[in-house]
Structures are given as C-alpha cells and as structure tokens.
Amino acid sequence: MPTVVATELVSAGRCSEMDILLDLWMSAVYNDSQVQGSEIGPVVYFRNGTGPPLAAYSEMAVRWGISKATTGRVLKKLADMDYISLMSFPGRTGSVIYLHSYLSTMFQVSDVLVDKEEVAMVLKVNLALPDETDSQADSVVTEHEICVSEELTSVSKSNMETVITKLAQVLDAQGISCFRCPKSIYKLYPLSDACREEYISHILKGTVRFGMTVSCGEDKPVYTFELTLSPTEKDREGGARA
C-alpha cells in the first residue's frame, strides 16, 4: 500500500489501536541516509520534511484523531506489549518510536537492539546530567577506575564520569564485554594542544573533542574512542565551570 494512501486512510477519522499500529509500521524507515536515527534501527518517520524522526504527542494525536492523553496511553500500551520502543526526551524535544520485530518480519534478518543513549547521540538530543551528589551505583562502570585529565578544567569530574558511564552503557549493549570487566580502566583526555584559556574559549563557542582509551589493567589499551560534546544554551550563557 502506498504511504500516501495509508496516511489518507489514517486521517479519515478516529483511529483504533490496530489502526495506529498499522500506521507506525507503514511509516517505518530503516537505514535511510536522509532520516536521522534510521541507521540504528527501524524508526517511525511521519515524513514532515524535518529529517529527525522526533514527533510530539500533540502531532500524533491530530494525525490519529484522538486526544493527546489517549495517544500517550496507546503508545505506552504498545510499548508494554513489546511492539515498539518508545523513547521520550526532555522538554519539547519530542519522542522517537522504534519498531520491534520489523527487520525479522520484513527482511528475514536479525532484529537489532536500540539504546536510548545511542539514539540521543545520533539525534544530538541533550540528556540531563544528574547532580554531582546523585548516586551512580547502578551504572556499568561505577566499580572501574576512571582517569580524567587535569586539563579538562571546564567540566566537573563527576559529569565526565557520567558521560563515560552513558557511553559504556551504549557500547556494552553492542556486545563490547570490556565494560563489564572490573579490570578495565578508562582514561579521558582532550584532543587539543591549546592552552587552558584557549581551550575553555573553544568550549564556550561550540563542540569539543575528547579521546577515551579503555585499557585492560595498567598497560594494555584495547579500545580507543573519540567523543564529541556540545554545550547547551544554558552552558553558553553561564560560562565554563571549573
């Protein structure tokens, strides 16, 4: 069925739960270079021309002819039934929906695991960092040694530990077992030769790059990653914090 025809049928009146599920499947996109996040897994994209697959509950409510509250209840029910992965982000960012069993049904290939932190990085959505006093006992890397370069003067060590923890959760979900080994050591360092003042100035203007090395014990590096971090509007207004 052409997507345009399916959209017209969905918009004709109040949708049932089955209609909504059908619309989600008809709107799925996978591995399309023009749709952000589709390389991770089959994502629902309502083709509004914006690129990102983020959608607000209010937009979906209008599309399906139901209330915003009903939209939330239906999507939660579909997520609880393991039909979809529903990922909501802070503020007015919107939500992203990934389909379960789509690849195995449509293409007879293995389905993929989609992680919220990975989606946030691809879509460049800011996830709020916890307060420095918050406990991180449930994180993957809390029992591992984390070494943060003293040159990272604009970012607190606890927040950098949170960044590494989030990255570890994403990579652990991809099957990199080092992130569950207590012998692993994480070393974070800036990819910049600039002095302290120039480095902080660069951070305030835009994104900065960090290198992260994962070692097995003291002297055996096994993985090297490059991280790109972008400041929020609040960070730009408030300036660097030591």
- The arithmetic mean of pLDDT across residues 61-90, rounded, is 93
Structure tokens at 188: 């974070």
Give pLDDT, residue 197: 45
Structure tokens at 213: 């090395």
Q: Nearest Cα to 75, choosing from 3, 112, 20, 29? A: 20
- CATH 3.40.630.10 applies to domain 3-123: no
Residue showing tokens 């949708």: 15
Q: Where are the beta strands (DSSP E) in the chain?
A: 28-29, 43-44, 84-89, 94-99, 145-148, 184-190, 208-216, 221-229
In this structure, what are the phi and psi dihedrals at residue 229, rounded to the nearest 5 degrees? Answer: -115, 140
DSSP string, 6-35: HHHHHTTS---HHHHHHHHHHTEE-S-TTS
What digits encode the pLDDT tens for the residues 124-172?
887 654 444 444 434 444 455 666 666 555 555 666 677 777 777 777 7
Lowest mean pLDDT among 30-44, 194-208, 226-240: 194-208
Q: Give the span between the Cα atoms of 154 and 207, in whole angstroms.
A: 13
Does the pTM of the predicted model rise above 0.75?
no
Structure tokens at 134: 């918050």
Q: What is the mean pLDDT of the chain?
A: 76
- Domain layout of the chain by residue ranges: 3-123, 145-238
Give pLDDT, residue 67: 94
Structure tokens at 71: 């939209």
pLDDT band at 209 (very low <50, low <70, confident <90, very high): confident
pLDDT band at 17 (very low <50, low <70, confident <90, very high): very high
Give pLDDT, residue 194: 47
Lowest mean pLDDT among 33-42, 58-67, 74-83, 173-182: 173-182
Question: Residue 196: is its pLDDT beyond 90?
Answer: no
Beta-bridge partners for 188: 148, 212
Which DSSP state fits 180? G
Give pLDDT, residue 144: 55
Please state, as a whole number, how many other Cβ atoms lie within 10 Å of the Cβ of residue 34.
9
Please state, as a whole number, how many other Cβ atoms lie within 10 Å of the Cβ of residue 142.
13
Q: Give the span between the Cα atoms of 155 and 233, in whole angstroms.
A: 15
